[in-house]
Amino acid sequence: MTAGVAGLSVVDLREVALGFGDDCLVLSHRLAEWTTHAPELEEEMALANLALDLLGQARSLLTLAGEADGRDEDQLAYWRDDRDFRNLLLVEQPNGDFAVTMTRQLLFSTFQELLYRWMVTGTEPRLAAIAAKGVMEARYHVEHARLWVQRLGGGTEESHRRMCRALDLLWPYTEELFEPTESWSRAADQGAVPPLSSIEEPWRHSIESLLVDSGLEIPGFPAWQSGGRLGRHSEHLGHLLAEMQHLHRSHPNASW
């Protein structure tokens, strides 16, 4: 096995970049599904902006992931089936109502910002470069999601009810955020990425303090869903990919 920069093997670098790149790509697609359906014009633009940032990050990460075996970003995005995707189950969950979308964003973006912030000073220079750009964007995503969770949680009886429902629905998927794959653990040993256990506490603290401020609470049951990083997905991902990949597979290498 070839050793990459900082003693990180190319296979481990690929797995790490692929998992995190797939998170960005899949969530970007989910957010893009809101286009023309958002509750107000400003939110329409906001969701599209979030999607665009994540798509840009996905492109950088998938380009890096593909270097190991000569595949480019398009081959990775359009020519893999669901079993080969390595994203978290959380990001493939359907948009649901606006409370579900914003809760999903809060849970993921808080996680992503912490990861990026750590990786900026990590030992893998290309991951660090992507993180340095991404952390500035993730900060805005977190802020946006926090404002909405606060408004919905402390809003009307109906918005509060929907926030509670969204948290119950998505909480089971948070366990997986902090479960390292073997590649992730080795990359963490090399100092390229943080040990996931080190960001769990700050993540939980950030989420919990916001929920308390918003009249909400972390669900009382444990999180238990996992498998996305190993390619075991919910059936939702297949439907998402069918839509995302259809055009490219019908017209290979089409450009405009």
Work out the angle at residue 224's Cα, subtended by the Cα atoms of residues 223 and 229, and round it to the nearest 5 degrees. Answer: 110
Stretch that binds other proteins, among 86-94, 134-142, 177-185, 216-224 (CB under 8 A): 134-142
Work out the angle at residue 143's Cα, subtended by the Cα atoms of residues 140 and 148, and round it to the nearest 5 degrees. Answer: 130
42 binds other proteins (CB under 8 A): yes
User: Binding to other proteins (CB under 8 A): which residues in 60-119?
Assistant: 60
49 binds other proteins (CB under 8 A): yes
Number of residues that bind other proteins (CB under 8 A): 27
User: Binding to other proteins (CB under 8 A): which residues in 181-240?
Assistant: none
Distance separating alpha carbons of residues 52 and 181, to the nearest angstrom: 28
Instruction: Output 59 or 162, the one with its CB closest to other proteins.
Output: 59
Assign 3-class secondary structure to 41-82: HHHHHHHHHHHHHHHHHHHHHHHHHHHHHCCCHHHHHHCCCH
174 binds other proteins (CB under 8 A): no
5 binds other proteins (CB under 8 A): no
Instruction: Output 21 or 172, the one with its CB closest to other proteins.
Output: 21
Distance separating alpha carbons of residues 148 and 143, to the nearest angstrom: 9
Distance separating alpha carbons of residues 217 and 77, to the nearest angstrom: 36
Of 37, 72, 125, 189, the one binding other proteins by CB under 8 A: 125
Of 50, 102, 199, 240, the one binding other proteins by CB under 8 A: 50
Instruction: Output 148 or 178, the one with its CB closest to other proteins.
Output: 148
55 binds other proteins (CB under 8 A): yes
Long-range Cβ contacts of 241-248 (<8 Å, 24+ apart)? 241/81, 241/82, 241/85, 243/29, 244/29, 244/77, 244/78, 245/77, 245/78, 245/79, 248/74, 248/77, 248/78
Instruction: Output 49 or 150, the one with its CB closest to other proteins.
Output: 49
Q: Which residues of 93-111 are buried (b: 16+ CB within 10 A; e: fewer)?
A: beeeebbbbbbbbbbbbbb
Local structure of 135: helix, strand or coil: helix
| Dihedral of the alpha carbons of 112, 105, 146, 59, in degrees to the nearest 10 | 50
Of 5, 11, 38, 52, the one binding other proteins by CB under 8 A: 52
Site string for other proteins, 137-156 (x = CB under 8 A): x--x--xx------------
Instruction: Output 43 or 179, the one with its CB closest to other proteins.
Output: 43
Stretch that binds other proteins, among 128-136, 192-200, 228-236, 244-252 (CB under 8 A): 128-136
Question: Which spans of this chain sit near other proteins (rule: CB under 8 A)?
Answer: 42-43, 45-46, 48-50, 52-57, 59-60, 125, 128-130, 132-134, 136-137, 140, 143-144
